[in-house]
Amino acid sequence: MPRFAANLTMLFNEAPFLDRFSLAAKAGFEGVEYLFPYEFEKMALRAALERNGLTQVLHNLPAGDWARGERGIAILPDRIDEFRRGVASAIDYATALDCKQVNCLVGIAPDGMPESALRTTLVANLRLAAAELGKHGIRLLIEPINRFDIPGFYLNTVEQAAAIIEEVGGDNLFIQYDLYHQQRTEGELIGTYKRHADRIAHIQLADNPGRNEPGTGEINYPFVFDALEAAGYEGWIGCEYKPRTTTAEGLGWLGAEQKRRQSADIIKIRS
């Protein structure tokens, strides 16, 4: 059975952020993820996790000035010191929250900057971050994002991410595989997963078009869940989608999936 984590940046937006933990637990989630923890006191976040019996599955490294449209700074040669400070902040929060993996949004390529300078900066930053996070038992992830949602984002494909991981070296850099971004970029959801399964440490979902909950678009999620399980995926699946109406009204897919899995298990037992 897949383990689903509620993305509290996207879900339960009807409530203040710290109240979303209890709403996620009441909805049946056992894990949570979100973009950034840094505007909250880390012990307040830890208390919310413990009070509701939740696992902190993932958060991101600091990604620059989000409100001004920045989506990561790992490729920027003039922001290396800021990136390194962000690594230290991520370690501080991840250790307090017992979070075992942190995602790095690599950034939007600035106009006029040579690609070689961006690549060299990114590889060096990832090499440092992976090593520092590894000292604390925390995995570093990088996420390919489709070019439509974030034009100019440097990392678009899983193949590109795999090549960067090869260049970085070491054993503590992995791929965050977002099925929505993959569908918009290339499709081939399961074939791509199988080709890179040894480097995929976390999966996220949303349907397409619209980035809404499963069952609202073109992705056959029951097939995808079964195929991922058959391929051996045992990690969390982060629910990073925008509810079409309210979060509660959009959770019917989760109940239906649980019932479908229970029925399949019963059939297996009887056979």
Cis peptide before 16 (omega within 30 of 0): no
Cβ(250)–Cβ(244) under 8 Å? yes
Residue 246: pLDDT over 80: yes
| pTM score of the predicted model | 0.95
Q: Is 227 exposed, middle or buried (0-12, 13-18, 19+ CB in 10 A)?
A: middle
Residue holding tokens 């949602």? 149
Pairing of strands 55-60, 3-7: unpaired
List of domains in the chain = 3-270 (3.20.20.150)
- Tokens representing 127 are 């090499």
The active-site residue, picked from 33, 213, 240, 257, is 240
Instruction: Classify the C-alpha dihedral 62-66-68-70 as positive or negative.
Output: positive
**Per-residue model confidence as pLDDT tens digits over 1-11:** 789 999 999 99
Mean of the pLDDT values across residues 201-223?
98
Has residue 144 got a pLDDT over 80? yes
CA distances from 104 to 80, 174, 222, 247 (A): 14, 10, 29, 26
Catalytic site residue 166? no
Distance in angstroms (rounded) separating the CA atoms of residues 239 and 33: 9
Q: Is 240 a catalytic residue?
A: yes
Sorting pLDDT into bands at 50, 70 and 90, what band is 263? confident
Catalytic residue among 33, 143, 213, 257: 143
H helix or E strand, kind and range, residue 33: strand 31-33
Percentage, residues of the chain above pLDDT 90: 95
